[in-house]
Amino acid sequence: MNCSLAERVLLSYPMDRQRDRLCLQSLWDFVTAEEPLIKSPFFPVLFSFTAYMAFCLPYIALDFLSTRLPNLRKYKIQPQNYPTLSMMVPCIIQSAYHHVVLIFPVTFLHWYWRPMNLPVLAPELPEVLLEVGVCLFLFDFEYFLWHLLHHKVPWLYKTFHKVHHKHVSTFALTTQYSSVWELLSLGFFAAINPVLLGCHPLTEMIFFLVNIWFWLTVQ
């Protein structure tokens, strides 16, 4: 019987660990089928911007629908405010600009310094859940301290953080409406935690997706 390398390696594990890995193996096989793209220096920027915009779209749709469906307004934090297209477009342009001009050079250097290694096997499900939870906790703690520092030190607030509070009427696209310094520093926190924990690449991807969705939801 012909077996893939992943199947042969899986057979060397105890049955309970095989089950834990098989939960995510099909997903990981799907991801690694696009190995040239995943290993490309362009992938992190495309992944980040596409995921961010995809998660923003439902909230953008709800903002526009709430102007026509009054029952939706009671679920808004600021039911009296309605973001307009003229408010959203600059946020999209700034996000695209930051990804191309700022984030891409950083990810290119990271790609050159630390080429991505794609293991044959997917991580075990309990391992993914634990590490994603730890990464979220660490990033939340780091973000809290960083945010508190920028509000406690007037110079930091005026120089770097004030731009984030430009939009009094908040909406999904304002979550990344930040200064260059703040965007890069928070991006560093998000990227370094999985590296320090030695996370599987699939775990890193899941963490980034959950983290983007989480911050769009709570901010």
Ordered per-residue pLDDT tens for the chain, 219 residues: 444 555 555 545 555 555 656 778 889 999 999 888 998 989 999 999 999 999 999 988 988 888 887 777 777 777 777 788 888 898 899 999 999 998 899 888 878 887 788 998 999 999 999 999 999 999 999 999 998 998 888 888 888 877 777 766 778 888 888 888 888 888 899 999 999 999 999 999 999 999 999 888 776
Cβ within 8 Å of residue 208, ≥6 positions away: 47, 48, 51, 190
Q: What CA–CA distance (Å, rounded) separates 45 from 99?
A: 6
Residue 98: both structure tokens together: 């930051």
Please state, in angstroms and as integers, the Cα–Cα distance from residue 172 to each residue in 61, 92, 217, following that order: 11, 11, 8
Is the CB of residue 216 less than 8 Å from the CB of residue 59?
yes
Cβ within 8 Å of residue 46, ≥6 positions away: none
Rounded to two decimals, the pTM is 0.82
Tell the residue number behind the tokens 């834990």, with chain if given.
20
Predicted pLDDT at 181 = 85
Is the CB of residue 28 less than 8 Å from the CB of residue 122?
yes
